[in-house]
Amino acid sequence: MFTTRPELTGDFGMVASTHWLASAAGMSVLERGGNAFDAAVTAGFVLQVAEPHLNGPGGEVPILLWSEAEQRPFVVCGQGVAPAAATIERFTDLGLDVVPGTGLLPATVPGAFGGWMLMLERWGTWSLADVLEPAISYAEHGVPVVERISATIGTVERLFAEDWPTSAATWLPHGRVPEPGSRLTNPVLAATYRRLVAEATSASTTREGQIAAARDAWYRGFVAEEIAQFSAGKAWRDSSGEPHSGLLTGDDLAGWTATVEEPLTFDYHGHTVCKTGPWGQGPVFLQQLALLSGFDLSGMGHLSPDYVHTVIESAKLAFADREAWYGDPAFSDVPMAGLLSEAYNAERRALVGADASYGLRPGAPDGRAPRLPDLPGPGTVSHAPGVSRTRRTAGVGEPTVGEPTVSGDGRVRGDTCHVDVVDRHGNMVSATPSGGWLQSSPTIPSLGFCLGTRGQMFWLQDGLPASLRPGARPRTTLSPSFALRDGRPWLAFGTPGGDQQDQWSLSFFLSVVHGGLGLQEAVDAPMFHSEHFPSSFFPRGSLPGVLHIEERADPALVSELRRRGHQVEVQGPWSLGRLSAVARDTAPGGFLHAAANPRGAQGYAVGR
């Protein structure tokens, strides 16, 4: 089968990510004796500079990893929480019925730095100065502007010029949108990271002590002070159409820390898939596997009408449960054991009929009645009183297709990055950093980055698993993936794409397991997904029955899906998914492998 690029094979190390500079930086770490954790952290910080429209220092990162020394997988939760002042009443008193998608109000504690530092401290070997050096250099000397950076900044040029002057100063050099191929610098961010290194090295002579000092400077020192002062200061216009100050305080930052957790798992055809807990959407991947385990996908044939229909209808059921049941388990009793049980999934599996379904149908695990949020009408948005749709939808969301950052209704969308690493020792990492996009919130002029907007994923209704609560994690879409084969670590993979992450990643996984495809073949294969369920992003609309598929798919497949009632919308030939993956052969003496996405001409895998 033709592939857009070779699947890499070797025995030293592999790095695959959504940007070639990050992959190269990570590989340079492996070449200089660092391990997979050092390489992933280095690549993660480079992504903040190379893809600032897709992630930033003010964002978050969930990580799945395999420690060869400990012979087990772990989850690192780098997802920050809602501020103490972020209550439903606070928002409704402002006349809001949904959390805005931009500005200062949706900010949660920026968890990416804490997440990366926790992994570096516990499993890495390199110093803070070493892992930050490539990002500092790129921020200081510049990165090449990819087309999507230019397109993103172009869509918010007027917003920056009229409402967010600190962002204009950072992202409109010489008062103009940077041209593709030009050099873009961020000297203020470089200075922020240089100061972190300086304070850390002056505070301690040990690697671990320096990491702890840097974390303290970020969450209780100068970074936290600047964030708190900026958040409490000037009110900035956001996607509600009105100006608002933020809610995030120094106490919010000081009281948070990244955590290490056990992954949720599900066994499927000899593979054990690991995901985050239900504070993210990751378990919806496992729920889809639980439903699909009762169907003969191999017998149906890869990308046949029966295959695609079954996968899509199972996704609708699993994502309906996501809406009804998922939330921060520290605040909500999420019945994951029931949702993944065979009895429950046998009952749910019977709902997959011959034709496309149009209802949102959550189940009742353990006999518990589901409760859905009060959803906007299909394809509609929810409005605050007196706010026009045009103002309301400017500058929000996250893209699910490869065309950049601007949707048909004029909304500017953020996105996500991904990085996978495997080293010669057998350590593996899958990480999905996101948030803090340059277009999400006004740039903090003293730090060179902006806050994230992940709080838009909370619901402003009481009694839901994902209701806004002070100190709770938003039910994020970020969803790295890890899989064992016959009990041995095998595959680290993932993709940007908001709600579509656990559809595209699933499609990739099923292409390998049932389609018999190699990693690069599975990345390149035509992608598809459902838009049926509510978006996790402002303004939370849905498109019942809509199925997106790349036009490289067989026209006969498209016709048959339409005959079955799916509202099929054919997308560009290379527009859906931005997957990357690394793998280990599970047999003794096997090789390492890597593959990366050709869509968008940014993803790259390196290794030897």
Would you state the pLDDT for residue 375?
72
Whether 476 maps to a domain, the answer reads: no
The burial class, CB within 10 Å (0-12 / 13-18 / 19+), for 104 is: buried
Shared domain check, 337 and 296: yes
Q: Specify the pLDDT at position 395.
A: 39
Give domain status of residue 462, yes or no: no
User: Do 100 and 219 share a domain, yes or no?
Assistant: yes
Mark whether 35 and 128 lie in a shared domain. yes
| CA distance linking residue 135 with residue 191, whole number of Å | 11
Judgement on whether residues 442 and 585 belong to the same structural domain of the protein: no
Q: Does one domain contain both 359 and 415?
A: no
- CB distance 581 to 594 below 8 Å: yes
Residue 124's nearest CA partner among 40, 210, 63 is: 40
Residue 422 lies in a domain: yes
User: Kindly report the CA angle at 596 between 588 and 421, in degrees rounded to 5?
Assistant: 50
Q: Is residue 274 part of a domain?
A: no
Same domain, 152 and 79: yes
Q: What distance in Å separates the CA atoms of residue 146 and residue 118, rounded to the nearest whole number?
A: 31
User: Residue 577 region, left (φ>0) first, then alpha (ψ -120 to 50), else beta?
Assistant: left
**Where is pLDDT greater, at 550 or 395?**
550
Residue 110 lies in a domain: yes
> For 347-360, what is the HEC assignment?
HHHCCCCCCCCCCC
Please tell me whether residue 266 adopts helix, strand or coil conformation: strand
- The pTM score is 0.94
List Cα–Cα distances, 36 to 28, 59, 72, 225, 460, in angstroms.
11, 22, 15, 33, 40
3-state secondary structure of 37: helix
Exposed/middle/buried for residue 388 (C-beta within 10 Å: 0-12, 13-18, 19+): exposed
Give the pLDDT confidence score for residue 207 in this predicted structure.
98
Report the chain's terminal Cα–Cα distance, integer Å: 23
Long-range contacts of 291-294 (CB under 8 A, 24+ apart): 291/317, 291/318, 291/345, 291/348, 291/349, 291/352, 292/268, 292/510, 293/268, 293/269, 293/345, 294/345, 294/346, 294/349
Beta strand segments in 392-512, E: 419-423, 428-431, 481-485, 488-494
Q: Is residue 392 part of a domain?
A: no
Number of domains within the chain: 2
CB-CB contact of 246 with 232 (8 Å): yes
Express each pLDDT in 68-98 by its tens digit: 999 999 999 999 999 999 999 999 999 999 9
CATH code for the domain of 584? 1.10.246.130
The reply to whether 453 and 512 lie within a common domain is no
- Report the pLDDT value the prediction gives residue 539, as an integer from 0 to 100: 83
| 53 lies in some domain | yes
Q: Please answer whether residues 591 and 585 qualify as being in contact, where contact means their C-beta atoms are separated by less than 8 angstroms.
A: yes
- The answer to whether residue 394 sits within a structural domain is no
Does residue 68 sit in the same domain as residue 209? Answer: yes
Does one domain contain both 197 and 318?
Answer: no
Q: What's the domain range around 119?
A: 20-260+409-457
Least confident of 268-282, 354-368, 460-474, 536-550: 536-550
Q: Alpha helix (H) ranges present in 441-516? A: 501-513
Instruction: With CA atoms as reference, report the closest residue to 501 among 466, 476, 467, 484.
Output: 476
Looking at residue 408, its pLDDT comes to: 35
Q: Which of 21-35, 380-394, 480-494, 572-586 has the lowest mean pLDDT?
A: 380-394
Q: What is the pLDDT of the chain when averaged over all its residues?
A: 93
Judgement on whether residues 154 and 36 belong to the same structural domain of the protein: yes
Torsion angle, alpha carbons of 449, 455, 457, 461, to 10: -160
Judgement on whether residues 368 and 222 belong to the same structural domain of the protein: no
pLDDT digits (tens, 9 = 90+) for 295-334: 999 999 999 999 999 999 999 999 999 999 999 999 999 9
- E-state strands within 394-517: 419-423, 428-431, 481-485, 488-494
Residues 348 and 420 in one domain: no
- What is the separation of C-alpha 187 from the centre of its chain, rounded to a whole number of angstroms? 26
Q: How far apart are CA 271 and CA 501, in angstroms?
A: 20
Token pair listed for 174: 């010489």
pLDDT in tens, 119-165: 999 999 999 999 999 999 999 999 999 999 999 999 999 999 999 99
Nearest-angstrom CA–CA distance, 29 and 59:
24
